Amino acid sequence: MGSCQNLHEFFERWGRRALGSTASVLLLFTFLYSQKGNAAPIVYKLMIMPFPSPNPSINSFGASGRLGTMSFGGSNNEVVLTLTFEADTANVVGFCLACPSATNVFGYENLVGAASVKITDAGSGAVLAQANFLPSARIFVSVDNSNFGIGFGSFAVADQGSPNFPGEPVYPYGLFPADPLGSGLDTYDLTNNFSVAADPYNFALSCVGFPPPPGVVCGTPKALPTSAGNLYLNPACCVFSLPNAAFSAQIESLTAFSVFTAKAEISGTPPKSFEIKGSFTLGSGSDGINPLAEVVTLQVGASSFAIPSGSFIRNSKGVYVYAGTIAGVALEVRMARVGPNSYSFNAEGSGANLAETSNPLTVGLTIWDDAGTTTVAPENGSD
């Protein structure tokens, strides 16, 4: 590949085949998806590195843009941009577009996690800036098994029947390997340890509006809200001037609560509301919890509710509070510190499908890499 024309050919092969060139085409797709059942904390990382130009007077094609008021990259002021997504394998969802057919496209995505960005000097390794993405950026990680692409997207659209699905799949960045058939991206499902090592010809693509209309390379960069201000990334648009990339996924050790207790009440006919009251103490190997910045997952029987990072607030009494809707269930969760490593928690939900609730009932709470589970005999509340 050596020109922008080659990139358009790539778009035709990968982008339009994967996501469709118009909304009307997307409406013809059949969306089939399933959620993975296993659960483990996992960290996805994508590193964007400059491609060294043979001519030292020419920019070596690294990532460039602006974070808050700080511009980075370009004019040989090269940087390494590292994107990180802390998530849980239980929230991986599969997708299949136009299956079964000769043009089927399939893969996996994880929409729930804590995303961050770090910018370092490519020469010295000094950290120039780092920030957490805000929930409104809707960062997600996805892999296209059929077209050998993996990366970080933004403004995620969860509805796989929507013409806007999946959002912006390669903005901030996606990786496309030098050796597609040998990369393992044809089978990787985002639930295991995995890596695509750095290679001079693993190229990184950053594109808004992917795939772009004919005759257009990429759209205007969108603001990605972060704790340090908006992040804007200049399009990496042409194959002869694309940065390098490397990807890794690493399962993290899960630290069990040393104590986890709960009581449960369910109500409704059929059962559709619940209230969980309990307490937990962090395990001896825990590095602490931060509900403000970590994914919190509540399990009630066969139902699991993943609350994205940044969703909790801390009120004037120091209580962590979340109120919102997850998977169609109105949910309120509170956690309060009651000792050096001990907390109380309360969770109330309505609109859940509890018709097949078992007795005893499994109750679980996971805060990134700290977790506990127990079984309780649920009490029947009033309708």
Using the predicted structure, report yes or no on whether residue 198 has a pLDDT greater than 80: yes
Q: What is the CATH number of the domain that holds 333?
A: 2.60.40
Give pLDDT, residue 56: 55
Statement to judge: residues 217 and 288 lie in one domain: no
Q: How many CB atoms lie within 10 A of CB 19?
A: 20
Percent of the chain whose predicted confidence (pLDDT) is above 70: 83
Burial class (CB in 10 A: 0-12, 13-18, 19+), 102: exposed
Statement to judge: residues 208 and 172 lie in one domain: yes
Statement to judge: residues 236 and 276 lie in one domain: no
Percent of the chain whose predicted confidence (pLDDT) is above 90: 61
Statement to judge: residues 191 and 309 lie in one domain: no
Statement to judge: residues 63 and 205 lie in one domain: yes
Residues 63, 203: Cα–Cα separation, whole Å:
12
Which of 251, 267, 293 is at the close of a domain? 251
Statement to judge: residues 124 and 181 lie in one domain: yes
With bands split at pLDDT 50, 70 and 90, how would you rate the model's confidence at 163? Answer: confident
Can you tell me whether residue 342 is helix, strand or coil? strand
Statement to judge: residues 259 and 119 lie in one domain: no
Using the predicted structure, report yes or no on whether residue 240 has a pLDDT greater than 80: no
Give pLDDT, residue 319: 97
pLDDT tens, position by position, 47-95: 999 876 555 555 567 899 999 999 998 766 789 999 999 999 989 999 9
First to last CA, the chain: 65
With bands split at pLDDT 50, 70 and 90, how would you rate the model's confidence at 16? Answer: very low
Statement to judge: residues 234 and 349 lie in one domain: no
Q: Phi then psi for 104, rounded to 5 degrees? A: -65, 145
| pTM for this prediction | 0.83
162-166, 205-209, 226-230, 377-381: which is most confident: 226-230
Statement to judge: residues 113 and 239 lie in one domain: yes
Which of 225, 251, 277 is at the close of a domain? 251
Statement to judge: residues 229 and 158 lie in one domain: yes
Residues 370, 283: Cα–Cα separation, whole Å:
8
Give pLDDT, residue 355: 73
C-alpha of 6 from chain center: 30
Using the predicted structure, report yes or no on whether residue 297 has a pLDDT greater than 90: yes
Give pLDDT, residue 161: 85
286: closest CA among 363, 343, 344, 362? 343
pLDDT tens, position by position, 177-187: 988 888 999 99
Which of 204, 236, 251 is at the close of a domain? 251
Domain count, the chain: 2
Using the predicted structure, report yes or no on whether residue 323 has a pLDDT greater than 50: yes
Q: How many CB atoms lie within 10 A of CB 240?
A: 13
pLDDT tens, position by position, 247-293: 999 999 999 999 999 999 998 888 889 999 999 999 999 999 999 99
Give pLDDT, residue 102: 60
Statement to judge: residues 229 and 282 lie in one domain: no
Query: Domain range for residue 262?
Result: 255-380
Statement to judge: residues 198 and 237 lie in one domain: yes
Q: Phi then psi for 9, rounded to 5 degrees? A: -65, -35
